[in-house]
Amino acid sequence: MSPTILRVGAYRFYFFSREEPRAHVHVHSPEGEAKFWLDPEIALAVSHGLSDKAVNEARNVAVENQEVFRDAWKRHFGG
């Protein structure tokens, strides 16, 4: 299960259920995908196929919505 948390433009932000315990969010676009850690701050974990520009755009969306992602993580996984 991978619930969608947010869609912004071509980016879909979502979680994989029970992937790993550290809080993170995945982002997918037609260009590729990435994973960002949520704590202690938004940081790129991995990226596949995304240009540097797209990674930066996705990171900016993640920074702007970090509380939305953290709250969704807590609701979905508990804690």
Instruction: Give the integer Cα–Cα distance in Å for 1 and 37.
Output: 19
Instruction: Determine how many CB atoms are found less than 10 A away from the CB of residue 12.
Output: 16
- Looking at residue 2, its pLDDT comes to 81
If DSSP codes are grouped into helix, strand and coil, which group holds residue 47? strand
Calculate what percentage of the chain has a pLDDT beyond 90: 82
Which phi and psi (to 5°) does residue 69 adopt?
A: -65, -45
Taking the chain, what is the end-to-end CA distance rounded to the nearest angstrom? Answer: 19
- Looking at residue 1, its pLDDT comes to 61
Compute the half-sphere exposure of residue 79: CA atoms within 13 Å on the CB side of its CA: 10
Instruction: Give the integer Cα–Cα distance in Å for 63 and 79.
Output: 21
The mean pLDDT of 45-49, rounded to a whole number, is 97
Calculate what percentage of the chain has a pLDDT beyond 70: 97
pLDDT tens per residue, range 4-37: 999 999 999 999 877 788 999 999 999 999 999 9
